[in-house]
Amino acid sequence: MSALSAFSGIDQAVFVAANQIVARSWALDSLMAMALESPVVKAGPLGALFLFAWYRLRGRPVEVRRRVLAITLLAVFLIAPVTKIFSEGAMEPRPVVLAHPGYVLRGGELVESPRLEVRLLQTGELAARAQALRQGRPTSNDFDAFPSDHAAIYVAMALGIFLACRLAGVLALLWTAFVVLGLRVAVGMHWLSDIVVGAAAGAALLVTLQFVGARFAKRLDPALLRWSQRWQGATAAILFLLLIEAAGPMKTMERLRDLVSGVLGGGA
């Protein structure tokens, strides 16, 4: 359980309750695997709702909505590397890892750690990961649970949509809570505390950037509106590419980071 969480008992209780939906049927497990793995299913609805809010003519003034949404995208791209740094340094095992034999150093001796009863998906990438764990082949990502970068990225995106357009935002928040994040708890990818801390970090950065952006609204709003209306095709293309990258989440950004590190470090 989370070494950084003051609610480890709540973590376990929530996980055990949510985990009961797993391994009930092959069809349900396949649907959950699809929602976890497919960018179209997982992030597609958020991208569609983002574009709905961007192009909608009713509700808040168009220039205000577009400023809020543009800042939301900026927040999402800033959040990804920050949460990745913290998760890679925390060494927090995912619940699914604790379903398999593990060892800890206690009193100078290596002893087997308690195992967690986990219902595992019968298909998909997580099932393959569980098979690798049974064979003693964990990956570094198996220990990067805290905080959840998915929670930070997707909550920031959904909250930004909500600030721009209430109708689209409510749907985005519900989808994020129950499909994107709820499933990650149910299948053993994260503890509830991983999700809560990640979501709080994403929301905090988004609100901070929105506050700063609002201070410059008189300059940003007309400039962004003029540009997006004059170059509608280019705007749509840019939004499309950015939303695809956010759906990854941020796989291209990770590869670019590795490329820059290799070039600066003189790597091959």
pLDDT in tens, 1-45: 444 444 477 778 888 888 888 888 889 888 888 888 888 888 889
Task: Establish if 212 belongs to a structural domain.
Answer: yes
- The yes-or-no verdict on residue 79 having pLDDT over 50 is yes
pLDDT value at residue 6: 41
pLDDT bin (cut points 50, 70, 90) of residue 59 is confident
For residue 133, give the nearest of 96, 187, 90 by alpha carbon: 96
CB 100 within 8 A of CB 143: no
pLDDT bin (cut points 50, 70, 90) of residue 103 is low
Share above pLDDT 90 across residues of the chain, in percent, rounded to a whole number: 21
Task: Establish if 62 belongs to a structural domain.
Answer: yes
**Cα(112)–Cα(106) distance, rounded to whole angstroms?**
10
**Cα(75)–Cα(246) distance, rounded to whole angstroms?**
11
Task: Establish if 268 belongs to a structural domain.
Answer: no
pLDDT value at residue 200: 92
Domain of 58 in residue numbering reads as 8-258
pLDDT value at residue 89: 53
Q: Of 241 and 131, which is predicted with more confidence?
A: 241
Task: Establish if 28 belongs to a structural domain.
Answer: yes
Q: pLDDT tens digit string along 235-262?
A: 888 888 888 888 765 566 565 655 555 6
In a 13 Å sphere around the CA of 253, the CA atoms on its Cβ side amount to 18
CB 81 within 8 A of CB 207: no
Name the domain count of the chain.
1
Task: Establish if 69 belongs to a structural domain.
Answer: yes
pLDDT bin (cut points 50, 70, 90) of residue 157 is very high
- The yes-or-no verdict on residue 226 having pLDDT over 70 is yes
Task: Establish if 152 belongs to a structural domain.
Answer: yes
Task: Establish if 131 belongs to a structural domain.
Answer: yes
- The yes-or-no verdict on residue 128 having pLDDT over 80 is no
Domain CATH code at residue 86: 1.20.144
Q: pLDDT tens digit string along 36-51?
A: 888 888 888 999 999 9
- pLDDT, mean over the chain: 78
Task: Establish if 73 belongs to a structural domain.
Answer: yes
pLDDT value at residue 33: 85
The average pLDDT across 195-206 equals 91
pLDDT value at residue 255: 58
